[in-house]
Amino acid sequence: MAEWLKDVEPLTLKGRIAVPYSWWVGDTGSRFLMSLRDDRKILGTKCPSCGTVFVPPRKNCGRCFVDIEEWVEVAAEGVIEAHTIVHYAYPVQPVKPPFAYALIKLDGTDVGFLHLIKKDLDKIKNGLRVKAKFKEERTGSILDIDSFELI
């Protein structure tokens, strides 16, 4: 160790650096989000090999490892497969608590879709049916689906 370092006090400067950026979700993600924004429709992709329907859509099947090109419209309703209720606020959460994150299997799909439930939190349980509630003003975000509501 250099002799002069013995008398140096280590200092730490804590701070934050804001770095603005643009994020692109690719061709597949863009088509999905534009459909939510422009048409209030939920699109998925269907594997040509195993027939699995994915929402959000994927370019490749994780089961068969083949390219997926077929798009399908799926229902805006489905079943809660799993959920958790959030009671404490954290900066990265999309809404203020209380709310629930729910894994929803939309009708016509084969995989779960994670989204929010804001109402009737005391009534939520796995197996209940829910329906997507779209925002009036949409921007091309997954949050164009404001939340899912019990039906």
Taking only the tens place, the pLDDT of each residue in 102-112 is 999 999 999 99
Cα separation, 66 vs 68, whole angstroms: 6
Cα separation, 136 vs 121, whole angstroms: 23
Kindly give the residue spans of alpha helices, DSSP state H, lying in 15-70: 26-39
Instruction: Tokens for 50, please give them.
Output: 């195993």
* pTM of the predicted protein model: 0.83
Give every residue of the chain whose pLDDT is below 70, as ranges.
1
Q: What pLDDT is stored for residue 107 in this prediction?
A: 98
Q: What pLDDT is stored for residue 15 in this prediction?
A: 78
Residue 56, preceding peptide bond in cis (omega within 30° of 0): yes
CB 131 within 8 A of CB 149: yes
Mean pLDDT, the chain, integer = 94
CA distances from 106 to 54, 85, 88, 99 (A): 10, 20, 28, 20
Tell me the pairing of strands 99-106 and 77-86: antiparallel
Residue 10, preceding peptide bond in cis (omega within 30° of 0): no
Q: What pLDDT is stored for residue 1 in this prediction?
A: 57
Q: What pLDDT is stored for residue 95 in this prediction?
A: 95
Q: Which amino acid is at 147?
A: S
